[in-house]
């Protein structure tokens, strides 16, 4: 084995340029395979398996996926509104432990504004027994005041803190420079500790503040109503974008799903939340298949590169093989040396492929976190971490078979005497 190692090492060094190019191609191929499989699996896990603190989302009749994307991940637009009475019905249902009303539709410098009740800070538990924690002296907003609480990413990205003042803009995803600012100004009274969830990208304000924002028209009673300063808003006019629900027991999901999702209902209960997202991933499965196929093709191209590179060196190496044979090396020894060399190129590439994977992953993870607040884990184990390097080495070994056969077939006497 020491002899084979020496032969391979010296050959790689002698053909340093082609060795580097083929190792780089193999690294790219292995990195791509790792990225396609691991990022896809980890993204799915992060979006469907992470704790979001709620069991279901109640919203207007429509797509559960849109409802979940809008309320949980703060993407897309709201599919419509529910009346306040529908929220109250959900809140008062004995099968519901906690129901939080969400009113959305405004934003501030790219971050979404969510109107809700202070219960989001006092009763909502992101994990078992763990409510939102405030940084420093931060406190929840007063429901009757124009106060705001910022998620950690919002505060960091916009350089805001306690005492800062913000004026929400009408609409979401409005291009910079085209935003229409509301006149109402909200004072930041608290900044939350990071949670590594989409909540880090939210600006929380009292739901009453959303109702009373200039230009907001309430249609809870079917007719249009605009709140007046100093006057109470009749409950029948109030409406919410969605209600986030925590169930009181394990059977509640089935029962409430039947209640809200029955024919003729004006509401939709998205439950379980993870399933809606999983359906999205399933729908996008063909994209993954295409990417997988592409990564396989890149692997084959890399293996073809190894084959071409080694085959090109075979002519100049005939004398080397003849000398080795004359020294007593058996045919299978030179055959093994070439297969080992091609496997080593692929193996080195596979190792470097982890670096390519890490780079790709960091880019994807950054983009996912930037847009959704969801954290995807780089080092979460995936079978591809084992299978991709092994597969690459196997392909490399296969690519070495033809040049190895040429080395195996080298005629010793002819090649020794040709010099």
Q: Which residues bind other proteins (CB under 8 A)?
A: 2-3, 6-7, 10-11, 13-14, 319-320, 323-333, 412-413, 416-417, 419
Nearer to other proteins, 111 or 321 (CB): 321
Toward other proteins, which CB reaches closer, 127 or 330? 330
Taking Cα atoms as reference points, which of 116, 182, 178, 175 lies closest to residue 151?
Answer: 116
Nearest distance in Å: CB 323, other proteins: 5
Q: Which is nearer to other proteins, 137 or 315 (CB)?
A: 315
User: Least distance in Å: CB of 333 to other proteins?
Assistant: 7
Q: In angstroms, what is the minimal distance from the CB of 338 to other proteins?
A: 15
Tell the smallest beta-carbon distance from residue 351 to other proteins (Å).
23
Distances (CA, A) of 22 to 7, 12, 309, 343, 393: 18, 11, 8, 11, 13
- Nearer to other proteins among residue 2 and residue 94 (C-beta): 2
To other proteins, the closest distance from the beta carbon of 409 in angstroms equals: 12
CA distance 243 to 255: 17
CB 321 within 8 A of CB 407: yes
Cβ pair 182, 215 in contact under 8 A: yes
**Closest approach of other proteins to the CB of residue 18, in Å:** 14
Question: In whole angstroms, how close is the CB of 14 to other proteins at the nearest point?
Answer: 4
Closest distance to other proteins from the beta carbon of 349 (Å) = 22
* Residue number with CB closer to other proteins (257 or 333): 333
Between 275 and 331, CB nearer to other proteins: 331
Could you tell me the smallest distance in angstroms from the CB atom of residue 2 to other proteins?
7
What is the rounded CA–CA span in Å between residue 34 and residue 386?
9
Q: Mapped to the 3 state alphabet, what secondary structure does the chain carry? A: CHHHHHHHHHHHHHCHHHHHHHHHHHHHHHHHHHHHHHHHHHHHHHHHHCCCCCCEEEEECCCHHHHHHHHCCCCCCCCCCEEHHHHHHHHHCCCEEEEEEEEEEEEECCEEEEEECCHHHHCCCCECCECCCECCCCCCCCCCCCEEEECHHHHHHHCCCCCCEECCEECCCCCCCCCEECCCCEEEEEEECCCCCHHHHEEEEEHHHHHCCCCCCECCCCCCECCCCCCCCCHHHCEECEEEEEECCCCHHHHHHHHHCCCCCCEEEECCHHHHHHHHHHHCHHHHHHHHHHHHHHHHHHHHHHHHHHHHHHHHHHHHHHHHHHCCCCHHHHHHHHHHHHHHHHHHHHHHHHHHHHHHHHHHHHHHHHHHCCCCCCCCCCCHHHHHHHHHHHHHHHHHHHHHHHHHCCCHHHHHHCC
**Cβ-contact 81, 240 below 8 angstroms:** yes
Nearest residue (CB) to other proteins, 7 versus 114: 7
Q: How far is the CB of 308 from other proteins (least distance, A)?
A: 21
Output 5 or 362, the one with its CB closest to other proteins. 5
CA dist 382 to 172, 285, 363, 378, Å?
A: 36, 18, 19, 10
Between 157 and 412, CB nearer to other proteins? 412
Shortest distance (Å) from residue 327 CB to other proteins: 5
């Amino acid at each position: 084995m020491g002899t084979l190692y020496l032969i391979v090492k010296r050959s790689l060094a002698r053909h340093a340029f082609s060795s580097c190019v083929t190792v780089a191609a193999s690294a790219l191929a292995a990195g791509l395979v790792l990225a396609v499989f691991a990022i896809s699996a980890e993204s799915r896990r992060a979006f469907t398996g992470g704790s979001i603190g709620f069991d279901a989302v109640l919203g207007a009749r429509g797509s559960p996926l849109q409802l979940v994307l809008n309320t949980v991940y703060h993407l897309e637009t709201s599919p419509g509104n529910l009346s306040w009475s529908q929220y109250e019905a959900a809140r008062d249902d004995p099968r519901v432990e906690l129901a939080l009303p969400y009113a959305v539709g405004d934003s501030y410098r790219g971050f979404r504004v969510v109107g809700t009740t202070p219960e989001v800070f006092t009763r909502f538990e992101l994990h078992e027994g763990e409510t939102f924690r405030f940084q420093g002296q931060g406190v929840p907003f007063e429901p009757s005041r124009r106060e705001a609480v910022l998620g950690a990413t919002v505060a960091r990205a916009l350089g805001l803190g306690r005492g800062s003042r913000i004026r929400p803009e009408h609409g979401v995803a409005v291009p910079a420079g085209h935003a229409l600012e509301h006149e109402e100004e909200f004072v930041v009274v608290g900044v939350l500790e990071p949670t590594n969830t989409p909540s880090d990208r939210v600006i929380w304000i009292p739901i009453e503040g959303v109702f009373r924002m200039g230009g907001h028209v309430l249609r809870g009673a079917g007719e249009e109503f605009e709140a007046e300063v100093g006057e109470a808003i009749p409950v029948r006019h109030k409406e919410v974008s969605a209600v986030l629900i925590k169930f009181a027991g394990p059977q509640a999901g089935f029962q409430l799903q039947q209640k809200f999702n029955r024919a003729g209902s004006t509401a939709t209960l998205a439950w379980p939340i993870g399933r809606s997202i999983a359906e999205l991933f399933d729908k996008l499965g063909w994209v993954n298949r295409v990417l997988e196929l592409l990564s396989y093709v890149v692997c084959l191209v890399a293996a073809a590169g190894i084959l071409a590179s080694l085959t090109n060196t075979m002519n100049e190496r005939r004398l080397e093989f003849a000398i080795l044979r004359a020294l007593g090396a058996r045919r299978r020894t030179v055959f093994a040396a070439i297969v080992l060399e091609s496997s080593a190129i692929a193996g080195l590439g596979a190792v470097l492929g982890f670096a390519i994977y890490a780079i790709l992953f960091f880019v994807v993870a950054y983009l996912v976190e930037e847009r959704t607040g969801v954290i995807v884990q780089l080092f979460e184990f995936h079978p591809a971490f084992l299978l991709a390097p092994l597969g690459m080495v196997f392909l490399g070994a296969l690519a070495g078979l033809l040049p190895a056969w040429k080395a195996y077939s080298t005629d010793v006497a002819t090649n020794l005497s040709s010099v």
